[in-house]
């Protein structure tokens, strides 16, 4: 990165996503972040939805400077969202430390268990692993031409509050917004991840050469009736914030496993 | 799956991995599982290391029956480890429910934060999301010709105990074994995930056409001095078992975030 930002008093904000650097959602996110800080973008050169926390270890990576956001230094990377954060921190930014890392705005929800499959959140979680304050933003609207206008004030408010109050160490925030509708967003709820899952199936097809192939299809099923979940908040037209940690240890079962006979 | 297993009294064991169906590690795992149950394999057709919890949503999937494990029904899949578990459950096994899902044996450690990047563990965690008892096995030896002989009795013992005692719901077990050395494995320790991370860097190279490319390189750094971690157990020549959950909610920071000013 050029060092003109180095002396700036404005916060330095790193932006990434998983829909790819040309997706409208990241354009909106850059636009909002420019209002509150100096922005640098490192994002995938192609869609990476569903990449989870994948990193590129068996192949090399490309990183190219692009000029697609006015007045913003931006790079496209051939790798995953997690790769983008690693390249941003260790190659692009070098000794500069971003004050905030934001990812998104994803075209589509990343609620409940979907956080594990989400490239948007893997960028934010990778940043948290690197000790950086991070937020992933998603809109519950998969369409390429999704309307983001109603969420922009909330994105700004949440990012500013993260800069002012600090995101707790070891945590990345998973923010989801309801689709634009006649009902305005009621506010923001801090939530836990709903205990929901995808009820999956495979659509079997035959290729022109007579060989079978499969498409993953599925319905999201939420049996969690709690009114403290991200799914509940969104169903009531609130934005949801779930703090996510990357230590997966299920502490509550350690004592049970210690009773196993393994000698 | 053919229904000859359907009437069997032996446990039905689904095997997958992330190094690909031809990796020696899965061969050893199949060999051990055959001693305790009826085995079916659905594994990637190529190495998927570092794929994390990626799923294939932007492309279709292939699934082909292969005959590489004697007396075992086996399929190779063009997708990720998580895809393999989904295809196994919803297409190959259909109404059959495996009594245990095992993944590995991975060539290389999957300790601490590496669990997030691990395809081996993503297969196990995907199974846990599906409500199935699951274990990921990894050996702290990256080599293709790694020696697995010293861990096979432990793999059997842990799988049998999981079948007998049941893996707690919502949890997948992450088992790591020390490399084969002159010191025998001392036993098995139930652990938490060490708070360690990868200190990363990028090896920059120039391709024959004069264009830059990057290889991710890094060192694993463990500053966690706790004697209850997976890293500690392995350093003392114990096998480690960490129960992993897929609800990432950082419950301990919910109240702090509720103090944020977001109105």
Residue A4 has pLDDT above 70, yes or no: no
CA B155, CA B29: separation in Å to the nearest integer? 8
Summary mean pLDDT of chain B:
93
CA A118, CA A109: separation in Å to the nearest integer? 9
CA B204, CA B209: separation in Å to the nearest integer? 14
Q: pLDDT-based confidence at B134, cuts 50/70/90?
A: very high
Crossing angle of helices B152-165/B24-36, nearest 10°?
50
Q: pLDDT-based confidence at A7, cuts 50/70/90?
A: low
Residue A1 has pLDDT above 80, yes or no: no
Q: Between A and B, how many residue pairs show a Cβ–Cβ distance under 8 A?
A: 224
* Residue at token pair 């705005």: A105
pLDDT for res B7: 52
pLDDT for res B189: 97
Alpha carbons within 13 A on the beta-carbon side of A180: 11
Note whether B250 contacts A55, CB cutoff 8 Å: no
Query: For residue B71, with 0-12 CB atoms within 10 Å meaning exposed, 13-18 middle and 19 or more buried, which class applies?
Result: exposed
**Across B78-97, average pLDDT:** 95
Token pair of A215 as six digits: 């498409």
3-state secondary structure B87-141: HHHHHHCCCCCCCEEEEEEEECCCCHHHHHCCHHHHHHHHHHHCCCCEEEEEECC
Contacting residues for B205 by C-beta, under 8 A, at least 6 apart: A60, B212, B213, B214, B215
pLDDT for res B9: 83
Residue B247 has pLDDT above 70, yes or no: yes
Note whether B193 contacts A115, CB cutoff 8 Å: no
Residue percentage of chain A with pLDDT more than 90 = 85
Alpha-carbon torsion (A126, A129, A134, A140), positive or negative: positive
* Residue at token pair 């940690």: A245
**Across A82-104, average pLDDT:** 96
User: What one-character DSSP code corresponds to residue A41?
Assistant: E
More confidently predicted of A163 and A53: A163
Q: Quick check: B150 and B117 in contact, CB under 8 A?
A: no
| Vertex A194 angle, CA A191 and A199, to 5° | 155
**Across B229-256, average pLDDT:** 96
Q: What residues of chain A lie within 8 A of the CB of B165, using their CB?
A: 259-260
CA B76, CA B68: separation in Å to the nearest integer? 10
The string of pLDDT tens digits covering residues A207-238 is 999 999 999 998 889 999 999 999 999 999 99
Q: Quick check: A231 and A196 in contact, CB under 8 A?
A: yes
Q: What residues of chain A lie within 8 A of the CB of B90, using their CB?
A: 200-202
Residue A8 has pLDDT above 60, yes or no: no
Kindly list the distances between the CA atom of residue A76 and the CA atoms of A19, A103, A124, in Å, as whole numbers in the listed order.
12, 14, 17
- The alpha carbon of residue B9 is apart from the nearest alpha carbon of chain A, in Å, by 23
| Vertex B54 angle, CA B82 and A221, to 5° | 70
A224 three-class SS: coil
Mutate which: A78, A212, A247, vs B, most B CBs within 10 A:
A247
Contacting residues for B153 by C-beta, under 8 A, at least 6 apart: none
pLDDT for res A5: 47
The string of pLDDT tens digits covering residues B53-72 is 888 888 899 999 999 999 99
H-helix segments, A145-205 = 152-165
Which residues of B does the annotation place in the binding site?
Answer: 18-19, 49, 106
Residue B80 has pLDDT above 70, yes or no: yes
Give residue A131's region: left, alpha or beta (phi > 0; psi -120 to 50).
left
Query: Which of A208, A205, A230 lies closest to A220, judged by CA?
Result: A230
Residue B30 has pLDDT above 60, yes or no: yes
Q: pLDDT-based confidence at A75, cuts 50/70/90?
A: very high
According to the annotation, is A18 in a ligand binding site? Answer: yes
Q: Quick check: B140 and B112 in contact, CB under 8 A?
A: no
Residue B48 has pLDDT above 90, yes or no: no
Token pair of A86 as six digits: 């690693």
Residue B73 has pLDDT above 80, yes or no: yes
CATH number of the domain at A3-195+225-258, please? 3.40.1210.10
A173 three-class SS: strand
**Across B110-130, average pLDDT:** 95
Q: pLDDT-based confidence at B4, cuts 50/70/90?
A: very low
Residue percentage of chain B with pLDDT more than 70 = 97
Domain covering B3-194+225-258 assigned CATH 3.40.1210.10 in the classification: yes
**Across B163-189, average pLDDT:** 96
Q: Smallest Cβ distance to B122: which of A52, A83, A113?
A: A52
H-helix segments, chain A = 24-36, 81-87, 119-129, 152-165, 230-235, 254-258
Which residues of B does the annotation place in the binding site for a divalent metal cation?
Answer: 18-19, 49, 106
Note whether A50 contacts B57, CB cutoff 8 Å: yes
pLDDT for res B6: 46
pLDDT for res A32: 98
Hey, where are the domains in chain B?
3-194+225-258
pLDDT for res B258: 94
Note whether B214 contacts A171, CB cutoff 8 Å: no
- The alpha carbon of residue B187 is apart from the nearest alpha carbon of chain A, in Å, by 7
Residue B8 has pLDDT above 80, yes or no: no
Summary mean pLDDT of chain A:
93
pLDDT for res A49: 79
Q: What residues of chain B lie within 8 A of the CB of A261, using their CB?
A: 161
- The alpha carbon of residue B225 is apart from the nearest alpha carbon of chain A, in Å, by 16
- The alpha carbon of residue B4 is apart from the nearest alpha carbon of chain A, in Å, by 24
Note whether A54 contacts B52, CB cutoff 8 Å: yes
**Across A69-89, average pLDDT:** 96
Q: What is the ipTM of this complex?
A: 0.91
Q: What residues of chain A lie within 8 A of the CB of B201, using their CB?
A: 90
């Amino acid at each position: 990165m050029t060092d003109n930002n180095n002396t700036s008093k404005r916060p330095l904000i790193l932006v990434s996503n998983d829909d790819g650097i040309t997706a409208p959602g990241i354009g909106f996110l850059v636009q909002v972040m420019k209002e509150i800080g100096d922005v640098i973008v490192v994002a995938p050169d192609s869609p990476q939805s569903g990449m989870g926390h994948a990193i590129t270890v068996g192949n090399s990576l490309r990183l190219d400077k692009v000029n697609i956001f006015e007045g913003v230094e931006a790079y496209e990377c051939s790798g995953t969202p997690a790769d983008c954060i690693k390249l941003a921190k260790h190659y692009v930014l070098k000794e500069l430390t971003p004050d905030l890392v934001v990812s998104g705005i994803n075209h589509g929800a990343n609620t409940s268990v979907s956080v594990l499959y989400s490239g948007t959140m893997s960028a934010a979680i990778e940043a948290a692993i690197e000790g950086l304050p991070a937020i992933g933003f998603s809109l519950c609207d998969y369409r390429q031409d999704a309307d983001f206008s109603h969420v922009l004030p909330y994105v700004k408010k949440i990012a500013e509050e993260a800069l002012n109050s600090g995101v707790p160490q070891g945590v990345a925030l998973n923010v989801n917004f309801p689709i634009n509708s006649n009902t305005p967003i009621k506010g923001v709820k801090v939530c836990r991840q709903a205990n929901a899952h995808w009820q999956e199936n495979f659509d079997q097809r035959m290729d022109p050469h007579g060989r079978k192939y499969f498409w993953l299809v599925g319905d999201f099923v939420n049996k969690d009736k709690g009114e403290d979940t991200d799914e509940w908040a969104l169903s009531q037209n609130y934005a949801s914030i779930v703090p996510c940690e990357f230590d997966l240890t299920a502490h509550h079962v350690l004592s049970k496993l210690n009773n196993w006979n393994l000698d």
